Structure 1
């Protein structure tokens, strides 16, 4: 049985959340958890049974939404609707093309993910794990521009997803992004993930890529949420705004 959040965890403003350090000894059984999914979790187009996943303890899911300037996950809207019907909080991430314009990708992502102010949506997410042949200085500049643009359009501070190996090599272990909450992938099997880039803590931790979750075909990535950032429901129900197309 999973233990729900204690009242001792205070609600923390999102802008200050990245300054928190994860409490020692957090266990997946004690905190909100959920998968991250893409079209790979829809073999032959099969849907995910989000009600079954919710019934077995899934609190949230982080879904691939867009890539570059012209790709939208075919299952994104169906997953979003089914997750909301099941009471699963939704995060949506953008997979960047660092060889393409960041502002255009930011606009494309926001148009497809945050076109309506719907409760149950976690902050924007940028997935940083592939260089597209670009050097660290190009990636760093690209990230600043995309993150700034998305925050301007939505009013919400984005989350950065990465893994220690890629961040150290592909982004030169840059410490320029510590104001953004960190979603880190580290399958080390230990009590805490490795922190990189000067981040003092993490908001989501991808612990494995081999989880088994009822309602989802095959092995899937599994994540836990850091309660030091306050109740997850507050993160998912913070109003945002979209300025795209209103200028």
Structure 2
């Protein structure tokens, strides 16, 4: 490149490509368990009758026998669709459509990568690759999985204010495009550390909380209840185990739309 004075300089190097080397094995809660540990789980034999069992899966899970999962009590499922703006779960179609074929209400989730692109851009990528909501009564609104960074700094190098704004950009874009509020999947400890425990989303976005312990414990600021509790990453059933905080008709209401879920 010729610059004033006739000097030649090397062209500016391109920005390094985002690292997705771990994306195939990155799924909801993997980093939470690694950072916060597993401290038991609820007594399933004494589970509240007003809790509805569900699962979440990713490419890491592989092929899922959804008929068997339904027979074991699963009524809803979330499937990882995307990560950042450069990874689509190669198992997504089979997992997502397989849940539907087995009569399980399903939704998609996005693993957030605030280090590689903006929240709005990632929401659009998610919607374009499986995260769109369908008003068919069988599709849950999309979920944003925001947790510890598997590649480095837990908060992706962002301040609490910048992280809060990133999440707001994602959720605002999803709502504008799909007419539904996205769920936010996180842990209380990560939320406190990386957003400063903001209470900004409690009135708009349902909470999907990860905590591997006998009780739900403290909730992030802004929420007075969780919609979903991911309580276990084990148990012999496909993927992780979750309880929807209510009977099955509440899951149906969340899938059906704002008027039914209000």
Does the CA-based 8 Å contact 1:114-1:154 persist in structure 2? no
Cα distance change of structure 1 residues 29 and 178 upon mapping to structure 2, 3 Å threshold: same
Distance 1:72 1:138 in 2: 26
The corresponding residue for 1:72 is: 88
Cα distance change of structure 1 residues 136 and 230 upon mapping to structure 2, 3 Å threshold: farther
The Cα shift of 1:229 comes to 9.7
Q: 1:121 aligns with which of 129, 139, 146?
A: 139
The Cα shift of 1:233 comes to 1.3
**Structure ranking higher on relative contact order (CA contacts 8 Å, 6+ apart):** 1
Which stretches in structure 1 are left out of the alignment for 5+ residues?
1-25, 240-247
The corresponding residue for 2:121 is: 104
Distance 2:255 2:94 in 1: 19
Distance 1:229 1:212 in 2: 22
The corresponding residue for 2:58 is: 38
Q: 1:206 aligns with which of 210, 230, 234?
A: 230
Q: 1:224 aligns with which of 207, 225, 243?
A: 243
Tell me the secondary structure at the aligned position of residue 252 of structure 2: helix
Give the TM-score normalised by the residue count of structure 1: 0.77
Aligned residue-pair number: 205
CA deviations 1:157-196 (Å, max 9, x no partner) are: 1111100111111111111111211110111212x33212
The corresponding residue for 1:27 is: 47
The corresponding residue for 2:209 is: 184
Does the CA-based 8 Å contact 1:54-1:88 persist in structure 2? yes
CA deviations 1:92-130 (Å, max 9, x no partner) are: 111111121222111111111255736211012111102
Query: 1:60 aligned to 2:76?
Result: yes
Cα distance change of structure 1 residues 127 and 28 upon mapping to structure 2, 3 Å threshold: farther
The Cα shift of 1:199 comes to 1.1
Tell me the secondary structure at the aligned position of residue 156 of structure 2: coil
Of 81-90 and 113-122, deviating more is: 113-122
The Cα shift of 1:232 comes to 1.1
Let me know the Cα RMSD of the aligned residues: 2.2
Cα distance change of structure 1 residues 198 and 118 upon mapping to structure 2, 3 Å threshold: closer
Give the TM-score normalised by the residue count of structure 2: 0.72
CA deviations 1:122-171 (Å, max 9, x no partner) are: 01211110222222221111011110000000000111110011111111
The corresponding residue for 2:17 is: none
Does the CA-based 8 Å contact 1:193-1:205 persist in structure 2? no
Largest Rg, 1 or 2: 2
The corresponding residue for 2:159 is: 135
The corresponding residue for 1:234 is: 253
The Cα shift of 1:225 comes to 0.4
Distance 2:236 2:217 in 1: 21
Does the CA-based 8 Å contact 1:102-1:143 persist in structure 2? yes
The Cα shift of 1:222 comes to 0.8
